[in-house]
Copies of this chain bind each other. A is one copy, B any other.
């Protein structure tokens, strides 16, 4: 029920996903049954008629309440126990589903995931990881908006979460972890960053030191590729939204200069967030994938595939194991 184009984009995205997933897998659409059913019928009678054979792999799970974007996240979780968010996540704790995807309120999804799935031992705060396209490989940036004021300990946890994510989801062996700062030298940065730099050297992670803003689009420093970049959610969110805003500016500038729309579209396709789908909320006991509020059917499809990979790679179990060990070692 959540997202700017729900339920149409969500239901259409589920159909697109089923067409690409192994036939053994199914999708549960959680929401107001009548609304979801009507939407599904409209799609199968219309543009998605070719997907009719996938209908039996879709089920609808009733969730009477809807969290609005104007609802405060914590109040929404307490006050609407039968929202699609809460019902969908609860199914995971009851063993009825393996993963949850939503394009609804990010704040509510985070709050509901923490309350219903709960956090792994040794995790203080969950983090949202976002993939940044770069001149080299994509870079996983976290936190990209879940936590605005972070301690050094929390940033170190994000580094561990991000490294596990990069291994399981991006197939990067011994991923290179960078700390976002304003200079390469360990003594550059704000107080928390400087403290974090010291702590990261003792983690056993493949910590490559500070990286700067320019190293994100470059995919690393001059000398070394980076897989994971750690920052607090304030900085991460500002950069993420900045990145989303730069592409349209460049497009407009180039179009004004006479570059054809087709050329631009082809070229900038890999800078489009919908290519990457959803952002996993890392640190909770389960799989909770945050899709962009403006998700298209294609973006939802990709978010479902991200969820699928999180499950098959065992990312969640790896996070539980590694963060638990780190917490024990620290104790």
Q: Which residues on A are within 8 Å of B, measured CB to CB?
A: 133-135, 145, 148-149, 180-182, 189-191, 193, 212-218, 231-235, 237-250, 252-254, 256-259, 263-264, 266-268, 270-271
Contacts and interface: CB of A to CB of B under 8 A. Distances in A.
Contact of A263 (B234, B247, B248, B254): B254
Given A182-B237, A235-B238, A238-B182, A148 B190 contact: yes
B254 A264 contact: yes
Nearest to A182: B237
Given A189-B148, A190-B234, A191-B149, A241 B258 contact: no
B134 A234 contact: no
27 contacts: A134-B249, A135-B248, A135-B252, A148-B182, A148-B190, A149-B191, A189-B234, A190-B232, A213-B241, A213-B243, A213-B245, A214-B245, A216-B242, A216-B245, A217-B242, A217-B245, A217-B246, A218-B248, A246-B250, A254-B254, A254-B263, A254-B264, A256-B267, A257-B263, A259-B259, A259-B263, A259-B264
Given A190-B149, A214-B244, A182 B266 contact: no
A182 B213 contact: no
Contacts of A259: 254, 259, 263-264, 267
A235 B242 CA distance: 12
A264 B257 CA distance: 8
Nearest to A219: B249
Contact of A271 (B253, B263, B268): B253
